[in-house]
Chains A and B, each alone.
Chain A
């Protein structure tokens, strides 16, 4: 039986169990629902959960352990000679057997014929056994739950506790995923730092991760000093913030304080569309429009601007994060109570005095939080930089030169065929770890500031 069919069947059984439990609860009190501890529906849910959850648990466990157990059984069945093989060869062998089975057995090596047949048999048997056990468990669960129902039975509490566990589980998934990502990056980084010392990585001024195939090639050893990447990231993010913070803040002030309702209802969604444009499209814009424009402008002033410049990438990235700054600032400016504005107006303050001296200071922590969130977005941005700022790891503060960023280097390090034991590839994980820690710190700071602000007005 297909797993999806089985799942459907289990759902049908639990629906039946729902009906069974509800009916049982009604029958016990002879229709006087008021005397029951919980509403009849809760007894239905209680029975349905008892029928569905154990069967689902079985299904999940079975799917998890099926492959290793079957593999083991197939290996056991092989002739004595193969038992002595090393684990690697055994792995290859079992793969061979599985592939032959999936291919339909047309080009099976004759010596594996028996094993393939055995595997096929085991799989079919395992499938039927699972279906049988799961369906049986579903019914057993349903009737067990039904037998437990009596007048005082606290079905509502049990059902609600179960739902709460689901909610808890869902929130844990997000947390556990984060932990998993951190750990996987962390372990690969540790492998990298085994090969390259941490101090070389953090304080080295040379970045050329290409390791030569042969020792007589030029630049035979890679250099993994990440400082040029950090400065490049810092440079581009700073340019982006210099663009986005004033524009975003001023547009937020206009939208929140001056704009008519009609203008606001049109302009705010339009501004937020900016946030929805794919970053690749921003990349085109940066590489094809802004960068050549800056180059020709620079030429007019007698400056030598490289065709891929930090300035182009930073400008476009700044435009990209305007909506973050303006939308969040707008929210926080709107959250400043009207009573504060009234207080200032009643003292004879003009609108601009009120905004500058009362509203903005009151909203400032929130605005700073918004800016920090935008900054962490800018630091993590990849596509625009790949397309507009180039790959040259120059250690420079000149925005007219090409620079590269941490994220861009991660991409170039991991594009194409890679071996996962060379420092070149592992460097990507170390960079990822640094990036993660930096944005994490920024986000925590931002959230802390935002929360502090909230408390002030509750």
Chain B
């Protein structure tokens, strides 16, 4: 007897329900966020978000434009500190330590929580210097040989080594868009972070470059925890294990990616993934 597994059950939570639905919390989480609110001046950009990010998992943050997913991502390594007028309340813990605690130094935090941006932003330096920049400022290499090792390892992990090993001293800005983005990923992993935040890393890339980056994200999961903001639901489905749906500054639904895309429990999530909204 065959069960009709592909027919989704109707969403059980109406559009008016604004509490987060699903499994926000995981055991042994790497990052724990509790009741996080973010204000830009008067604007309440993130409202009461509680969410865990587990070890060695890829979590996709999806949602319509302006829903606060990038803002939330930038809270996790305190990149919002550079934006004037931005206030954050609530609690965010990395491995049990509050990253907004008084007197916490953001430099080691950002070395632990790396970030890849929407547009590739290599420094106007050589490919080698781009990757070596992080290890240099954190003093990770005792000598030139070690530094070269780190650069090679990072470029290999980012899947770029074979393409650039002959041109290490050419400018990083001369690479193609997809190569630049992988260079930025290599630059990020060169400081051996534990978490990598990716803010729509493929939105400026063509499908082939996108496929390479997605493959790379899958490979990186072995060593890192990854949070990725994406506008592409196919991408979220391909690369992530858990998915969080953001709507107007709130987390509406969190859960296993497979479940969210086949059987959303909240009406708003269903509207979004079926293309009725957003």
Contact = CB atoms under 8 A, between A and B. Distances in A.
A339 B123 contact: no
A347 B117 contact: no
Given A347-B188, A348-B134, A342 B121 contact: yes
Interface string B119-146: 1011111000000011001100000000
Interface in A343-394: 343-350, 353, 357-358, 361-362
A337 B79 CA distance: 16
The 8 closest A-B pairs by CB, nearest first: A346-B115, A348-B111, A348-B110, A339-B121, A347-B134, A343-B121, A348-B107, A362-B124
Contact of B191 (A340, A348, A353): A348
Contact of A339 (B77, B84, B119): B119
Interface string B11-55: 000000000000000000000000000000000000000000000
A345 B188 CA distance: 11
Nearest to A260: B84
Nearest to B171: A456
Nearest to B112: A348
A293 B10 CA distance: 88
Interface of A: 261, 337, 339-350, 353, 357-358, 361-362, 456
22 contacts: A261-B84, A340-B121, A340-B123, A341-B82, A342-B117, A343-B121, A344-B123, A344-B133, A345-B79, A346-B110, A346-B114, A346-B115, A347-B110, A347-B134, A348-B107, A348-B109, A348-B110, A357-B133, A357-B137, A358-B123, A362-B123, A456-B173
B137 A347 contact: yes
Contacts of B124: 340, 361-362, 456
Contacts of A357: 133, 137
Given A350-B107, A353-B137, A361-B125, A345 B84 contact: no
Interface size class of B (residues with CB under 8 A): 20 to 34
A345 B137 CA distance: 11
A362 B138 CA distance: 21
A342 B108 CA distance: 16
Nearest to B197: A346
Nearest to A338: B82
Among B77, B109, B115, B124, max chain A CB count under 10 A is at B124
A30 B124 CA distance: 64
Interface in B67-110: 77, 79, 82, 84, 106-110
Nearest to A362: B124
Contact of B108 (A339, A346, A348, A362): A348
Among B106, B122, B123, max chain A CB count under 10 A is at B123
A39 B154 CA distance: 64
Nearest to A343: B121
A342 B79 contact: yes
B187 interface: yes
A358 B138 CA distance: 15
Contacts of B107: 348-350
Contacts of B138: 348
B184 interface: yes
A350 B133 CA distance: 12
Given A337-B121, A348-B191, A456-B124, A343 B84 contact: no
A185 B129 CA distance: 50
Among A339, A343, A344, max chain B CB count under 10 A is at A343
A345 B123 contact: no
Among A339, A344, A348, A350, max chain B CB count under 10 A is at A348
B77 A346 contact: yes
Contacts of A261: 84
Nearest to A336: B124
Given A347-B111, A349-B137, A362-B123, A342 B188 contact: no
B184 A345 contact: no
Contacts of A347: 110-111, 114, 133-134, 137, 187-188, 191
B58 to A, nearest CB: 19
A345 B110 CA distance: 8
Nearest to B190: A347
A340 B79 CA distance: 13
A92 B121 CA distance: 76
A349 B134 CA distance: 8
A357 to B, nearest CB: 7
Contacts of B117: 339, 342-343, 346
Nearest to B106: A348
